[in-house]
Amino acid sequence: MSEKQPRIRVRGLTKIFGDEAGTAFERLRSGESRAEVQNATGAVIGLDNVNFDVDAGEILVVMGLSGSGKSTCLRCINRLIEPTDGSVHIDDIDVIGLGERELLELRRTRFGMVFQQFALFPHRSILRNVEYGLEIQGMPPDARREKALAAIETVGLKGWDQHFPSQLSGGMQQRAGLARALALDPDVLLMDEAFSALDPLIRRDMQQELVALQKRLKKTIVFVSHDLDEAIALGGRIVLMKDGGVVQEGTAADFLANPADEYVRRFVEHIDVLGVVTAGDAMRPPSAVRPWQSTAEEALAILTQSGEPVVTVVCEQGRFQGTVDADTLKGAGTTALRLLLSDRSAYVPFTATLNEAVARLASGRGEIAVTGPDGTLAGVIANADLVAALARRRPTTAH
């Protein structure tokens, strides 16, 4: 498989419910509107020409209001619902073209699914619930017990394996459902409103836990949600659906900056912009950067010319080392900058939100560095840059 090939590829996915699905499909493809087709045939168009990719190790959130088609889309990926038309590929496997036996094997080995209503067997212990998929696969008892206990520990339920679902809180039951899916070691996790039945605080904890798990396990996750805050908490890309079709795809920051239409604009108008826009979005090229072997005299000249509040200091490899302010530089002569660093923590990662940048700026000297994954200097942010970023990203109220 090519390194750049997506793990999941969805193309032209269409689902029409009803006895006249074939006729409805033909009318839809001839150019009739969704409403016209439904009025003429009585068929319900659940999905209409849905297209998106999911990269390996990515959390993709498919979201929309009730009736938008998001759950239907999820279930078409592993054919719990049979699509009317279109294709789904998992790596090089044509899911739609599989026979019944091959599809069953694919579900057992490549997919894990986590539902909103935990779907635990009340008469089985947590251990036996988590073992269930492995039992269906025919795995020997000792081996499946070992894998199930490892999955239980992964989701933070170690010591609860002999309890029954009724003895666990809602959040713990959802962890057990997640453990059951993880025990199969699937390439792809399909999660349908998995946390929406939980209390808000527990829900937030589970969102954070899922992000942490994904970073460790590198699973490919398609997560269905109706909650934009949840989509933002999970990070990454969002596929926003309406009336069975995709309205826009991108990050929450993309939706803020360039909403595709009024529906998207209204969907994101109450977003906390500081919690969505990243330091990478708001940074600018630095104009007062010096290597750490430079002298204070050289740095002060650069600082005076640039008008910046601090000099940003980097090592030979371009990695951020700290900042030095003008008061420290004055009178320091030929002293090397590496001996004069005023603030070694005046930075945020490229992916940090502006909330994190604000907190760092508030404790610093008016400007911070933005670093890439390897610590190299990517840019800088000052208070004025934050204001400019907010002005660019805040949606315009429609009149």
Q: Which residues pair with 52 in a beta bridge?
A: 10
pLDDT for residue 71: 94
pLDDT for residue 320: 95
Residue with tokens 């640039």: 306
Confidence of residue 394 (pLDDT cuts 50, 70, 90): low
367-371 sheet: strands from edge to edge: 347-349, 367-371, 377-382
CA distances from 174 to 186, 198, 211 (A): 18, 9, 15
Amino acid identity, residue 247? V
Stretch (H or E) spanning 50: strand 44-54
Stretch (H or E) spanning 144: helix 141-154
**CA atoms of 218 and 208, how far apart (whole Å):** 15
Does pLDDT of 397 surpass 60? no
Angle of helix 126-137 relative to helix 170-183, nearest 10 degrees, comes to 20
Domains of the chain (ranges; CATH) run 55-81+95-273 (3.40.50.300), 279-390 (3.10.580.10)
Arithmetic mean of pLDDT, 307-324: 92
**CA atoms of 321 and 15, how far apart (whole Å):** 55
The torsion defined by the Cα of 65, 66, 70 and 74, in degrees rounded to 10, comes to 140
**CA atoms of 395 and 349, how far apart (whole Å):** 25
Query: What's the pTM value of the predicted model, to 2 decimals?
Result: 0.77
pLDDT for residue 136: 85
CA 242 to chain CA mean position, Å: 20
Does pLDDT of 209 surpass 60? yes
pLDDT for residue 4: 65
Task: Render pLDDT for 239-291 as a digit per residue (tens, 0 to 9).
Answer: 999 999 999 999 888 888 788 999 998 888 878 788 888 898 889 998 899 99
Task: Specify the 3-state DSSP secondary structure of 366.
Answer: coil
The phi, psi pair for 123, rounded to 5°, reads -90, -5
pLDDT for residue 360: 87
Confidence of residue 1 (pLDDT cuts 50, 70, 90): very low
The residue among 270 and 396 whose pLDDT is bigger is 270
Give 134's contacts (C-beta < 8 A, 6+ positions apart). 143, 144, 147, 148, 183, 184
- The average confidence (pLDDT) of the chain is 89
pLDDT for residue 384: 82
Task: Render pLDDT for 124-183 as a digit per residue (tens, 0 to 9).
Answer: 999 999 999 888 888 999 999 999 999 999 888 999 999 999 999 888 888 898 899 888
pLDDT for residue 138: 86
Whether the Cβ atoms of residue 190 and residue 74 lie closer than 8 Å to each other:
yes
